[in-house]
Amino acid sequence: MGSSCSEFSTPWREMSWSERDGTLEKLRTFTSGNPDVGKLRILLNGPVGVGKSSFINSINNIFQGRSTTSALADGIGGKSFTKKYTTYFTDDPSMPGSTYSFAFTDVMGLEGDQGVCTSDIINAMKGHVKEGYEFNPRAPLSKDDSYWYNNSPSLEDQAHCLVTVVDANKIAIMSDETFRKLREIRLAASKLGKYWIPQVVVVTKVDELCPLVKEDLKRVYKCKLLKEKMDQFSAKVGIPVNCILPVKDYHNEIDLKKDMDELLLKALRQIVNYANDYVKSPSYRNQQSL
């Protein structure tokens, strides 16, 4: 890293850096393509402390036009700070009481023996986990727990896009165990009956990976190191690189920054499109539960 950071002469992915306002407007007025699904549910997962909650807060900041803290992020890594299955809606400031047509579900991080069990994430994906459930790393949610286990989830209870969040700086040192868990979750997403839940990867903390990117976020697609990390992650988990999107979350900024918003909204637009394709597909229209 540091001075050894090198760049491609031209960006390897096209990015106009002037789509924020247009994308924001489209997302503000967007409605789900399936009348049975009011809110597209985006399920976040990934290792502890990678910026899952910060990503939700960042998106909320953009839509509120100011700094917010709805999905509380933690300043100290280690154990997972988020412990409950919690769904976050984004308020529409132009219409008090109403929220936009996408919602994020935040779950506990999955690293090591202090992380959430993969079966809990898989159950969350299928819509079996009820709102407010507190994850227990030592014991996954049981089918017999009728208070917290939803036996007959509707399409709306299920995840419509699985978003795996990873820290750009940690990809090289992620344990085999974490990769195994991520792969298991990915395979489960592809094996839900004949249905395939779309998956997107959000790579956070790109500012910490490379000083040139930290200085100017527009250099993100020129950074060789980041491209290497994304390729590495893609190969290990089996997710195509075009489904992997780098961002810098809002964490210590007070004011909104346009380039950060461009990357965050590019990611959100792809996530919402995939989620909508999923609920719009004729195979799901009449399907009540998995």
Kindly list the residues in this chain that would bind Mg ion in the complex (CB under 5 A). Answer: 52-53, 82
Stretch that binds ligand GTP, among 51-59, 96-104, 132-140, 183-191 (CB under 6 A): 51-59
For ligand GTP, the binding residues in 185-214 under the rule CB under 6 A are: 204-205, 207-208
Q: Which residues, in sequence order, are CB contacts of 182 under 8 Å at separation 6+?
A: 46, 110, 164, 237
Residue 256 as a binder of ligand GTP (CB under 6 A): the answer is no
Q: Which is nearer to ligand GTP, 37 or 129 (CB)?
A: 129
Q: How far is CA 118 from CA 149, 153, 164, 183, in A?
A: 16, 19, 13, 10
173: which DSSP letter? G
Q: Which residues, in sequence order, are CB contacts of 146 under 8 Å at separation 6+?
A: none
The one of ligand GTP, Mg ion, none whose footprint includes residue 207, by CB under 5 to 8 A per kind, is ligand GTP
Stretch that binds ligand GTP, among 129-137, 187-195, 243-251, 279-287 (CB under 6 A): 243-251
**Strand pairing report for 40-45 and 199-204:** unpaired
Q: Which is nearer to Mg ion, 53 or 118 (CB)?
A: 53
The one of ligand GTP, Mg ion, none whose footprint includes residue 28, by CB under 5 to 8 A per kind, is none
d(CA 187, CA 112): 20
94: which DSSP letter? T
Q: Which is nearer to Mg ion, 52 or 170 (CB)?
A: 52
Q: Which is nearer to Mg ion, 82 or 150 (CB)?
A: 82
Contact between residue 52 and residue 82 where contact means Cβ atoms under 8 Å apart: yes
d(CA 246, CA 236): 17
The one of ligand GTP, Mg ion, none whose footprint includes residue 75, by CB under 5 to 8 A per kind, is ligand GTP
Of 133, 184, 136, nearest in space to 157 by CA: 133
The one of ligand GTP, Mg ion, none whose footprint includes residue 251, by CB under 5 to 8 A per kind, is ligand GTP
User: Bridge-partner residues for 149, per DSSP?
Assistant: 129
Q: Which is nearer to ligand GTP, 247 or 279 (CB)?
A: 247
Among 34, 45, 82, 270, binds ligand GTP (CB under 6 A): 82
Interaction site with ligand GTP (CB under 6 A): 48-54, 73-75, 80-82, 109, 204-205, 207-208, 248-249, 251
